[in-house]
Amino acid sequence: MTSPHPSRARISIVGAGPGGLTCARILQRHGIRATVHDRDARPEARDQGGSLDLHADNGQIALREAGLLERFFELARPEGQEMRRLDPSGALTFHRMPEPGELFKPEIDRGQLRGMLLDSLHPGTVRWGRGVERVSGPARGPRRLHFSDGSTTEADLVIGADGAFSRVRPAVSPATPGYSGVSFLEAWFSDVDRRHPEIAELVGRGGAHAADGERALFAQRNSGDRIRVYIVQRVPADWIAARGLRRDDTAGIRGLLLERFAHWSPRLRRMITDNEGAYVDRPILALPVPHVWEHSPTVTLLGDAAHLMPPLGVGVNLAMLDACELALALARAATVDDAVRAYGTTMLPRSTETAKMLEGAAAHLLEAEGPGPDEDVPQ
């Protein structure tokens, strides 16, 4: 099959996260059609996660190309760049406040970012309830997407933006994510200034981190007077089940955590005891380093599907930069094949370099020195 011009190609993007939606938006700005398929039944089907910092040298570049940078700054929280470091007693050991007008990496809720991108797309661009199970067809195309409801569709280019457990990735790579040895347990707090004033005071308007070498707490202010806390531990992936507990056994897990954080300040332990609802278990996974694959003219990957790394502030930024570069390559190339090849020559070396820098770095969150003033923090 001859590779078509991008303007005549059937382009399917799998995954309606920030990367997939950014790619679709920039393609549409250049007159190229794309369809986004997502497993969720509707945009509000599940919680979209916490706060993200979008950097001026990658995520904001993508938003500029998408024509959404001004809208981003309307929604973003520059005050979220505040960073505090505490010791286990609760004493403040480091405090960084953003300068007036500083916009290098302001925060935005993941749900707000996704909503902004969805609102920018042509109606009908995203097909909800379309979970891709696998991709088949010859390397030269056309490719066939097989959905969980038994239906199929053909595409001249499939873009896997479907995250850690990508169903598109096997079409180009046998790699699967592995456990890093570090796990996050997420806890939520709402109406914090009124209901949890002590936690609100500890965290400030941005993020606060405390660690003792084996365990850590990272708390992050979200919009709407909410805070998310990530309880970080070096544990086996099945640590909850190994203690005979279920993931929804909030009281049992809380009791275990209080044992492990017994020597910490009662003020900090409120981040463990006062959460609303169940904890969310998030074992930290990563793809092998380097993760590269043979060029395919009909399938490519972006974001976590391509280079899953520890959540240290780069994930969404790299996904959006990937999306931007791929969309611009398609807008400028004579064929889809040429565009995918050009994209790979920049994305793969960049992602390999970053992945090597971050390999094993999730454990850095456990160190008493913690994330420094110029380092990123969990997303």
Domain assignments of the chain as residue spans, ordered by start:
6-82+102-176+287-363, 179-285
Q: Do the bridges between strand 83-86 and strand 51-53 make them parallel or antiparallel, or are there none, so unpaired?
A: unpaired
| Model confidence at 239: pLDDT above 70 | yes
Contacts of 336 (CB under 8 A, 6+ apart): 3, 4, 5, 6, 9, 11, 156, 157, 297, 298, 330
What per-residue confidence (pLDDT) applies to 223? 93
Cα–Cα distance, 180 to 79 (Å, whole number): 31
370 pLDDT band, cuts 50/70/90, is: low
Residue 253: CB atoms within 10 Å: 22
pLDDT in tens, 189-199: 999 999 999 99
Q: Which of 3.65.10.10, 3.30.9.30, 3.40.50.300, 3.40.50.1100 would CATH assign to domain 179-285?
A: 3.30.9.30
Write the burial class of residue 47 (CB in 10 Å: 0-12 exposed, 13-18 middle, 19+ buried): exposed
What per-residue confidence (pLDDT) applies to 373? 34
pLDDT, average across residues 225-239: 95
pLDDT in tens, 308-329: 998 887 899 999 999 999 999 9
| Model confidence at 378: pLDDT above 50 | no
Return the amino acid letter for 231.
Answer: I
What per-residue confidence (pLDDT) applies to 32? 98
What per-residue confidence (pLDDT) applies to 341? 98
Q: If residue 108 lies in a helix (H) or strand (E), which one and from where to where?
A: strand 107-109
| Model confidence at 129: pLDDT above 70 | yes
**Domain 6-82+102-176+287-363: which topology?**
FAD/NAD(P)-binding domain (3.50.50)
What per-residue confidence (pLDDT) applies to 375? 39
Residue 21: CB atoms within 10 Å: 28
| Model confidence at 374: pLDDT above 80 | no
Which residue in the block uniquely carries the two structure tokens 């084996």?
214
Q: If residue 135 lies in a helix (H) or strand (E), which one and from where to where?
A: strand 132-136
What per-residue confidence (pLDDT) applies to 379? 46
pLDDT in tens, 258-274: 999 999 999 999 999 99
Phi and psi at residue 334, in whole multiples of 5°?
-80, -30
